[in-house]
């Protein structure tokens, strides 16, 4: 891994987080490094082969006000819609600790390069990426 501005403590926190997505009546929970058969099924059903999981909350892992987070995430959601991607709303929650949940989006069909660009434009430390195998991986952006 190349040098990063993201501390090992933050990376450890991202690794110890559950990333959930509401798809109809089903809740899909993604864990970094763990295969998700349900995600593979979603790819098959939507004829996609990859997805990014991203938020605009708390840029660079720095706590922001609720109103700033809601506004930034609304802007992200509009950008996703305007680009024509299918997406599902979700929530990332630390498995332990007191970091508040962050509203996030599972964006289908987004290439890894486009996901990196989008995440960087919203000043995120990292995002989740899953390819056809349905194994989410942490992509550090800075």
Q: What does residue 71 show for φ and ψ, rounded to 5 degrees?
A: -65, -45
Q: Mean pLDDT, to the nearest integer, of 112-139?
A: 96
Asked whether residue 89 carries a pLDDT value surpassing 70, the answer given is yes
Asked whether residue 64 carries a pLDDT value surpassing 60, the answer given is yes
Contact present, 134 and 43 (Cβ < 8 Å): yes
Asked whether residue 121 carries a pLDDT value surpassing 80, the answer given is yes
Q: Does the predicted model carry a pTM greater than 0.75? A: yes
Query: Can you tell me which residue has the tokens 């194994």?
Result: 135
Q: What does residue 35 show for φ and ψ, rounded to 5 degrees?
A: -60, 140
DSSP of 15-63, one letter per residue? HTEEEEEEETTEEEEE-TTS--HHHHHHHHHHT---EEEE--SSGGG--
List pLDDT tens digits, range 28-52: 999 999 999 999 999 999 999 999 9
Name beta bridge partners: 53: 106, 128
* Contacts of residue 63, Cβ cutoff 8 Å, sequence gap at least 6: none
Asked whether residue 100 carries a pLDDT value surpassing 90, the answer given is no
pLDDT band at 106 (very low <50, low <70, confident <90, very high): very high
How far is residue 123 CA from its own chain's centroid?
Answer: 13
Asked whether residue 1 carries a pLDDT value surpassing 60, the answer given is no
């Amino acid at each position: 891994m190349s040098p990063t501005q993201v501390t090992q403590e933050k990376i450890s926190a991202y690794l110890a987080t559950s990333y959930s997505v509401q798809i109809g009546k089903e809740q899909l929970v993604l864990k970094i490094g763990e295969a998700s058969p349900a995600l593979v099924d979603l790819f098959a059903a939507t004829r996609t082969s990859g997805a990014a999981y991203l938020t605009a909350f708390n840029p660079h892992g720095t706590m922001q006000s609720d109103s700033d987070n809601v506004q930034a995430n609304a802007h992200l959601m509009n950008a996703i819609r305007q680009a024509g991607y299918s997406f599902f709303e979700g929530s990332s929650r630390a498995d332990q600790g007191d970091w508040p949940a962050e509203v996030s989006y599972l964006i289908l069909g987004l290439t890894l390069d486009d996901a990196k660009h989008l995440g960087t434009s919203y000043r995120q430390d990292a995002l989740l990426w899953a390819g056809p195998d349905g194994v989410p991986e942490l992509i550090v952006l800075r």
